[in-house]
Amino acid sequence: MTTIILLCLIFFLASWVQGVTGFGSALVAIPLLSLVIDIKEAVPLCILASLVITTYMAIQLRKHFDRKKIFPLCLGAIPGIVIGSTLLKTVPSETIKIFLGILLISYALYNIFFTIRQRPVNYSWGYLAGFLSGAIGAAFSAGGPPSIIYTTLSNWSKDDIKATLTGFFCFNSYMVAITHLFIGLTTKQVGYHFIFAAPFVLLGTAVGTYCYRFFPRKLYLRIVYIFLVIMGVLMIF
């Protein structure tokens, strides 16, 4: 019962983060989940949770969707998902934890010390960003960084960036969830945990979306990145 309570609290926090920022649920959830359950159960469980988060947000942001922006990411993600799912099934859990820890630390430190300058970016880069996000997302449920960097480098509006990421993450989550189910990564135990966690995922997303309009986003993101560095270190050591 303690495990169920911890899972619910973790998913509430993670979904709240994504509700506020538009991304980051997996980056928060996976390190914490790996301290409670095996990483190979945590990844498919987090993917199921992301279905709830991204579907909820996609409905809210549907007016801002631009197929030209989302399509390259989605198309590039398909082969990446197949490769990433294969890695998750064959690579040892400890190796996954170390790799994910390095990913979290690198991504967080980059955002803390460097300011991303917006500029025109060719849509063709979206295919590469989608492929990397698909592969990393399927293997570690933390595929956000490549697509986030791609969209934030572009000179798009704030709403366009958030809507593009949400649309892509929604597509990516469904594709990964289907792939995980097909190759046997989504087990009965994962489904059992998801039943209890889903209401807290939805609640956290709704509360985070509401708080977004009031919260000082820049300061909050810096706190989140510092938190991710700590989580990455814990996963490695």
- The domain locations on the chain are 2-236
Question: Rounded mean pLDDT of the chain?
Answer: 84
**Rg of the Cα trace of the chain?**
16
* Tens-digit pLDDT profile for residues 66-82: 888 899 999 999 998 88
Asked if the model's pLDDT at residue 22 lies above 80, the reply is no
Question: pTM value?
Answer: 0.76
Distance CA(123)–CA(106), nearest Å, equals 25
* Tens-digit pLDDT profile for residues 106-126: 878 887 887 666 666 777 888
Distance CA(30)–CA(143), nearest Å, equals 12
The band of 203, judged by pLDDT with boundaries at 50, 70 and 90, is very high
Distance CA(37)–CA(46), nearest Å, equals 12
Asked if the model's pLDDT at residue 196 lies above 90, the reply is yes
Cα dist from 85 to 20, 162, 185, whole Å: 28, 26, 9
59 exposed, middle or buried (CB, 10 Å; 0-12, 13-18, 19+)? Answer: exposed
Asked if the model's pLDDT at residue 5 lies above 80, the reply is yes
Return the closest-CA partner of residue 30 out of 4, 55, 49: 49
Asked if the model's pLDDT at residue 204 lies above 90, the reply is yes
